[in-house]
């Protein structure tokens, strides 16, 4: 099927990155959020990131202007019904995603593909609530979207081959690589990555090391570009906790029990970079460990 217009639901960190790469690749994008402030901030972020690409000569100023012109914003969710593909990139809460699909569903064209950028929630379960489980699948981008080369494609039990091939073709057009995952909790990347961050939280919680020693150990000892606690702050500690809960609930294995310290940070509202405090304090010029 031919896809020209893509609706993106959610203009936050993931949504604006998805809109950015789609527009750069030549797709018309309709970006939706619940507030105009969120949409304005997203366009500003996209323009800033495009300027960075122009300065690095990976795109031209003309290509930047063309990409921005391909992005339309709207507060009206049903307006996305005219798209051939919709990518939901809202908050990682199943009830919110279900509400979005319930609202949007009646306005979709019969052959529109419906996808979700969820990092952990069951694709099969989300699809079962819609009128098109065979045209529904997981379309999981990595953060930051413009830089990361991987996209996880996750088929639900009802997803048909045409839907998979269409989404795979989009990944190729974006210049990224698709990794196919079965529909099990947290898929591939987060099934491996988030428990590592959770284990780093346990190492901190149990006094094995402090924030700096744990992160430096993994950066210098395992050649990781970011330490696990720093990475948790970058992802968002609320997102890390949500994924650990999905793993713990879905697999019923105690090795996936969320660290109490991770839970405590989330309860405090110290969610990482986006709130300017997490395992590091970002309110000054240089991030300072909080433990």
Q: Detail the residues annotated as belonging to a binding site for NAD(+).
A: 10-15, 33, 92, 97, 119, 143, 274
Q: How many CB atoms lie within 10 A of CB 225?
A: 8
Tell me, yes or no, if 120 is annotated catalytic: no
Phi and psi torsions of 40, nearest 5°: -65, -40
Alpha helices in the chain (DSSP H): 13-24, 36-55, 61-69, 94-104, 123-128, 161-173, 189-205, 211-221, 228-235, 237-251, 260-267
Choose the catalytic residue: 49, 117, 190, 198. Answer: 190
d(CA 60, CA 81): 32
For residue 111, report the phi and psi dihedrals to the nearest 5 degrees: -100, 10
CB-neighbour burial class of residue 285 (10 A; exposed 0-12, middle 13-18, buried 19+): exposed
Q: What are phi and psi of 65, to 5 degrees?
A: -65, -40
Cα–Cα distance, 102 to 147 (Å, whole number): 32
Catalytic one of 32, 152, 198, 230: 152
Kindly state the tokens that stand for 71.
């992005």
Strand order of the β-sheet with 136-141 is: 71-74, 28-32, 5-9, 85-88, 113-116, 136-141, 150-155, 177-181
- Tell me which DSSP letter residue 219 carries: H
Whether residue 84 lies in the annotated active site: no
Residues 147, 56: Cα–Cα separation, whole Å: 13
User: Is 49 a catalytic site residue?
Assistant: no
Residue 152 annotated as catalytic: yes
- Residue 51 CA to residue 256 CA, distance in Å, equals 41
Which is the catalytic residue, given 117, 119, 122, 198? Answer: 119
**Is the Cβ–Cβ distance between 71 and 46 less than 8 Å?**
yes
- Residue 288 — φ and ψ, nearest 5°? -120, 130
Residue from 140, 181, 198, 230 carrying the catalytic annotation: 140
Enumerate the known binding-site residues. 10-15, 33, 92, 97, 119, 143, 274
Q: Any idea which residues carry the catalytic annotation?
A: 119, 140, 152, 190
């Amino acid at each position: 099927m031919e896809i020209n217009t893509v609706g993106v639901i959610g203009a936050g960190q993931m949504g604006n990155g998805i809109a950015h790469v789609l527009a750069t690749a030549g797709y018309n994008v309709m970006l939706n959020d619940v507030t105009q402030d969120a949409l304005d901030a997203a366009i500003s972020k996209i323009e800033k990131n495009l300027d960075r690409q122009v300065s690095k000569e990976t795109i031209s100023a003309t290509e930047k202007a063309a990409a921005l012109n391909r992005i339309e914003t709207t507060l009206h969710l049903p307006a996305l019904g005219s798209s051939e593909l919709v990518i939901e990139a809202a908050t990682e809460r199943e009830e919110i995603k279900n509400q979005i699909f319930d609202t949007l569903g009646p306005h979709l064209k019969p052959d529109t593909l419906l996808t979700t950028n969820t990092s952990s929630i069951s694709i099969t379960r989300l699809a079962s609530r819609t009128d098109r489980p065979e045209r529904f699948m997981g379309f999981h981008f990595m953060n930051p979207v413009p830089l990361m080369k991987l996209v996880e494609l996750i088929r639900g039990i009802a997803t048909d081959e045409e839907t998979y091939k269409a989404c795979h073709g989009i990944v190729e057009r974006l210049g990224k690589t698709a990794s196919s995952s079965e529909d099990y909790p947290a898929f591939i990347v987060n099934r491996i990555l988030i428990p590592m961050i959770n284990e780093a939280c346990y190492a901190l919680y149990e006094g094995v090391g402090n924030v700096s020693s744990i992160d430096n150990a993994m950066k210098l000892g395992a050649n990781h570009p970011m330490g696990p606690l720093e990475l948790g702050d970058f992802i968002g500690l609320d997102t890390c906790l949500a994924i650990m809960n999905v793993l713990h609930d879905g697999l019923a294995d105690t090795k996936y029990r969320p660290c109490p310290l991770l839970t405590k940070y989330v309860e405090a509202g110290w969610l990482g970079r986006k709130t300017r405090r997490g395992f590091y304090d970002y309110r000054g010029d240089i991030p300072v460990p909080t433990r």
